[in-house]
Amino acid sequence: MGGGWCVLPGGLPLRLLHRPALDRDAASLTLLRDFGIDPNAEPVRETIALVRENCRWEHAGQRFFDGEVEPCINGRTVAVGAYFGVDVDSIVVRLLGEQLADGGWNCEAENGSVRASFATTICVLEGLLEHERATGGSVRAVAARRRGEQYLLDRSLCRRQSTRASALVELPEPSWGTSHVGPGRHEFTCRFRPAEQDPPIPVYDPFAELADA
């Protein structure tokens, strides 16, 4: 739903909920991760257990940490799950199978798109990297992450490969490319942080390729 999160407390009909409230659990977990909260603190563990047992995706009632169908949402779910010590391996396997030929991901692939989306790819890469940090990552997952990063680097994060024109001018919300617009929303250039990868994970030197970003 518009690139945001939509999670229902278990058993609560959608008609009883106001949309902004639907985003709060998922977005709050993302924000706690970004702030670096201790994932092993007792209140945090209690919260994660409650989310695991009671939160469902609006798409088809899937359990929160089982993910749903959109790669952007599943990438964020992997990032949250891996950080908080939840097994999200099944979502990772799904994401690996959804990588497009150009190296990225797109939520519109199920509708026939064969080209990756910058925003979706960033969401998936953050998830794969967090999972890699938590588990060491499989050979296949590491290779997929590197391909996805190269997809962005080849396009200076925001340029069409064919014309080198900026794709930012075509985004529905100009703020996507210029600022952090809130938890669980498109943050675009704020969200791709290759320089923050921790050793011993190999990283690319992004500076020359990111000059336009």
pLDDT tens for 11-43 read 544 443 433 334 577 888 999 999 999 999 999
Name the band, by pLDDT with cuts 50, 70 and 90, for residue 200: very low
Q: Please report the pLDDT score of residue 121 as a whole number.
A: 96
Q: Extract the tokens encoding 118.
A: 């910058």
Phi, psi of 149 (to 5 degrees): -65, -40
pTM over 0.75: no
If one compares 158 and 44, the residue with the highest pLDDT of the two is 44
Q: Which residues of 83-121 are buried (b: 16+ CB within 10 A; e: fewer)?
A: bbebebeebbebbbebbbebbbbbbebeeeeeebbbbbb
Query: What mean pLDDT is reported for the chain?
Result: 78
Q: Please give the average per-residue pLDDT across 52-60, as a whole number.
A: 89
The Cα–Cα gap between 62 and 56 comes to 5
**What's the Cα-to-Cα distance from 57 to each of 19, 51, 53, rounded to whole Å?**
13, 11, 12
Interval 113-171: pLDDT, tens: 999 999 999 999 999 999 999 999 999 999 999 999 999 999 888 787 777 777 765 55
The Cα–Cα gap between 150 and 145 comes to 9
